[in-house]
Structures are given as structure tokens and as C-alpha cells.
Homo-oligomer: A and B are copies of this chain.
Amino acid sequence: MSSTFAALADPTRRAILARLSTGGASVQDLAKPFKMTLPAVSKHLKVLERARLIRRSKSAQWRPCYLETAPLKEAADWMKQYQKFWDESFGRLDALLLTMTKEATPVSGKVRKKTKKHK
């Protein structure tokens, strides 16, 4: 998982993954939007390949790259153990908003009725 996170710690590599999520692409295709040299893109692809986030076809001459999501799933599963923390934060925020709404609401009909009885 360390190699997955290390590979994801670069905005260009994350953008390459986003591009590959729409389909396979050659090094030339990938270099265009980033205005990078082919060796620079190749270097990023090597990091992604070592982290098994992409695979490169050996059959075609242009060796297209494809997205591999198994390591991303593993990383997402690891993150799930912390999900309860932000769920709890939202739960506390909800409770706070509910309290604030209740405090801001004018006296309800039920309470008003009770007041009448006491007259």
C-alpha cells in the first residue's frame, strides 16, 4: 500500500489515472494534455506501473496503458476504518443544527394550548 500512496502523491500521476479511467491511451496521448516530454511522462508511468495502478499492453506497437484499480480498492478499504470519524462529525453537526433550529422556532401550538388552560 506504501507504493500505491507514493504513486498517488503527485498531481500529474493522479491526472494520468483520471485520463486512463476513460479508456486506454498511448504515452503520446498521455503527454499531450500535460505538455510534458515523452521521457517525463514515461517516468511517471513507470512509477504507476510499479505500484500496479496501470498495466501496459505488450501486443500493440504503441503499447497502450490501461488503468488497474485493485490497489485503489485496497487503499479505499484501508480508509474505511476512519470513515466513522467523519460520519460522527457530521452526526454532531446535525445534532447541533437540530438544537439551534429548535431554539430558533417560535412557541409551538401545543405549548400555547397549555398556556390557555392555565388562564
Binary interface profile of A, 65-104, with partner B (CB < 8 Å = 1, else 0)?
0010110110110111111011001000000000000000
Contacting residues, chain B, for A82 (C-beta < 8 A): 17, 21, 67, 69, 72-73, 76
Asked whether B6 lies within 8 Å of A2 as measured between CB atoms, the reply is no
Tell yes or no: A60 within 8 A of B by CB: no
Could you say how many copies of this chain the assembly holds?
2
Closest Cβ of chain B to A45, distance in Å, is 18
Q: Give every chain B residue within 8 A of A109 (Cβ-Cβ).
A: none
Q: Would you give the 0/1 interface string for A3-39, flagging 1 where the beta carbon is closer than 8 Å to chain B? A: 1011011110010011001000000000000000000
Q: Are A67 and B83 in contact (CB under 8 A)?
A: no
